[in-house]
Structure 1
Amino acid sequence: MTGSDGTRVDLHVKVLDGGVVERAKARGLDVLVYAPHFTRWPTIERQAETFSDDELTVVPGREIFTGPWHDRRHVLALDLDAPIPDFITLDGAMAELRRQDATVLAPHPAFLSVSLGREQLLEYRHVIDGIEVYNPKHLPWHNRRAQSLASELGLPAFASSYAHLPGTVGEVWTTFEANLRTASDLAEALEDGTRRRLFHRSGYSHRTRKLLEFSHLGYENAWKKFDRIVLSGMEATHPGHVAYGGRFDDVRVV
């Protein structure tokens, strides 16, 4: 339920279950954007609807892995009309996002080898609706660099918990000065640059959550995951999956 001070949104989480929902509510969130890895859009939509209620709106999101595994660039998309696979070219993904008139966000910019860098942000800034300038996986200089990029490019900033671990949900949020009740409301607010304020918790507990999330990167980028996602070729979001009907064969990279 939106409060008098605006709508509190955690704009990017990877986990969702009953416990996550209860934690989000306890942290005073109104909206949660659920964008798990390697999960097809229809599944994400169903899960988001299942866990939404009058107190918390769960909005489906899709973090698309563009490019090959060793040089992948993540793009966070909301308000899709149709599924988009991973491991297609960045140009191909952006063209499809433009075609669908989707809401496009740049998570963790210029972060390691998994993000849009300054060159890509500059090239696609007419498509991008916001840049993430704080999440717990960032180290301090990552946040400063992200803030500098948002300012340089004149793009709205946002913050999220980027929670891969349930305990991180609600550690960070963006408060929009608008009453956002639906996924469409949030997409419109992001695209229109609606006024917002960025918040994160502080103190020992928050520092611990940051350390745990940063440490989790090792697991996220393990060879086992590479083998499961890339070499098996049978993941749900692989561009060769039968669900995509060959639509992305001309821009696939694996």
Structure 2
Amino acid sequence: MDEFRVDAHVKVLDERVVERAKSRDIDALVYAPHFTRLPDIEAEAERFSDDELLVVPAREVFTGDWRNRKHVLAVGLSEPVPDFISLEGAMAEFDRQGAAVLAPHPEFATVSLEAHDLRAHRDQIHGIEVYNPKHWSEHNERARELAGEFDLPAFGSSYAHLRGTVGEVWTSFEEPLRTADELVAALKDGAPRRVYHRDGADHRLRCAAEFGHLFYENSWEKIDRLFLSGTEPTHPDHIAYGGRFDGVSVY
């Protein structure tokens, strides 16, 4: 039986990304670009989905303030959720919407859920990422330990911020998943899956390129310039949220 291969977290999406995913036999991409509102993500996901490749919209929400942020990946949202709200507020909203909640890159750098966060929200989390190209080997090993400690399903992704990384890592499910709703259900139900990644010199180079991209991605100047004025699309003060998140906003 053929497995269903999901690259479970990518930041980039265009014709070249779709072509690369298909050439690497990826069946689905979970598309969660930074600081982009859900309706825009959904529109792009629909635009690039076809009979060969399912593109599933998602949000990697930046909880906490810039100096104490913890990223959480939500798949299956029905309403927009902003960045820069408390972790508790985000988890409550994900639960209300029935989303699949995933812990990307646990305990990685200063942007991740740590063991105490996983323990506090164990019953609301549906998977822990155990491999992505930005990790070093010790990060992957620690992530596997955390998945075992909390008895949570594993997943892997390319976490691609660069087009060439798409399809370097994938999570294979035993059953085909024809829609976004079916993927969400598989994640929430702990459906059987295995995590794979490419190997060799080319893979190591792509991992190095993705790791190097961190220094740009996490520039304080970039974030301060773009996202902290209150008018940007995923700031909790944006008019689009109608004040719903005022009580859990950290800015």
Cα distance, 1:5 vs. partner? 2.0
> Quick one: distance in 1 between partners of 2:118 and 2:172?
24
> Quick one: distance in 2 between partners of 1:228 and 1:162?
24
Q: Which residue of 2 aligns with 1:160?
A: 157
Q: Which residue of 1 aligns with 2:241?
A: 244
Q: Does residue 1:202 correspond to 2:199, yes or no?
A: yes
Q: Which residue of 2 aligns with 1:212?
A: 209
Which amino acid in the other structure matches residue 150 of structure 2?
A: L
Q: Which residue of 1 aligns with 2:6?
A: 9
Q: Residue 111 of structure 1 is aligned with which of 108, 111, 114? A: 108
8 Å Cα contact 2:12-2:31 kept in structure 1: yes
8 Å Cα contact 1:69-1:230 kept in structure 2: no
Cα distance, 1:229 vs. partner? 3.3
Uncovered stretches (5+) of structure 1, i.e. residues with no partner: none
Q: Which residue of 1 aligns with 2:79?
A: 82
Cα distance, 1:224 vs. partner? 2.7
Q: Deviations over 1:87-120 (max 9, x none)?
A: 0000100111111111100000010110000000
> Quick one: distance in 1 between partners of 2:210 and 2:231?
28
> Quick one: distance in 2 between partners of 1:20 and 1:151?
33
Q: Deviations over 1:58-107 (max 9, x none)?
A: 00010000000001000000111110000000010011111111110000
8 Å Cα contact 1:10-1:161 kept in structure 2: yes
> Quick one: distance in 2 between partners of 1:228 and 1:64?
19
Cα distance, 1:223 vs. partner? 2.6
Q: Deviations over 1:144-189 (max 9, x none)?
A: 0000000000000000000000000000001000111110110111
Q: Which residue of 2 aligns with 1:70?
A: 67
Q: Which residue of 1 aligns with 2:186?
A: 189
Q: Aligned residues, how many?
A: 251
Which amino acid in the other structure matches residue 12 of structure 2?
A: V
Matches within 5 A, 1:37-56: 37-56=34-53
Q: Percent identity?
A: 64
The DSSP-based 3-state class of the residue aligned with 1:95 is: helix
The DSSP-based 3-state class of the residue aligned with 2:226 is: helix
The DSSP-based 3-state class of the residue aligned with 1:108 is: coil
Which amino acid in the other structure matches residue 28 of structure 1?
A: D
> Quick one: distance in 1 between partners of 2:28 and 2:164?
17
The DSSP-based 3-state class of the residue aligned with 1:250 is: helix
Which amino acid in the other structure matches residue 117 of structure 2?
A: Q
Q: Does residue 1:176 correspond to 2:173, yes or no?
A: yes
Which amino acid in the other structure matches residue 172 of structure 1?
A: V
The DSSP-based 3-state class of the residue aligned with 2:91 is: helix
Q: Given the two structures, how large is their TM-score scaled by the length of structure 1?
A: 0.97
Runs of 4 or more, structure 1, over 3 Å off, are none
> Quick one: distance in 1 between partners of 2:72 and 2:122?
12
> Quick one: distance in 1 between partners of 2:79 and 2:5?
27
> Quick one: distance in 1 between partners of 2:229 and 2:250?
14
8 Å Cα contact 1:130-1:158 kept in structure 2: yes
Q: Given the two structures, how large is their TM-score scaled by the length of structure 2?
A: 0.99
8 Å Cα contact 1:14-1:163 kept in structure 2: yes
Q: Deviations over 1:118-153 (max 9, x none)?
A: 000011010000000000000110000000000000
Which amino acid in the other structure matches residue 160 of structure 2?
A: A
Uncovered stretches (5+) of structure 2, i.e. residues with no partner: none
> Quick one: distance in 2 between partners of 1:95 and 1:252?
13
Cα distance, 1:231 vs. partner? 3.1
Of stretches 174-183 and 231-240 in structure 1, the one that deviates more from structure 2 is 231-240
Which amino acid in the other structure matches residue 173 of structure 2?
A: F
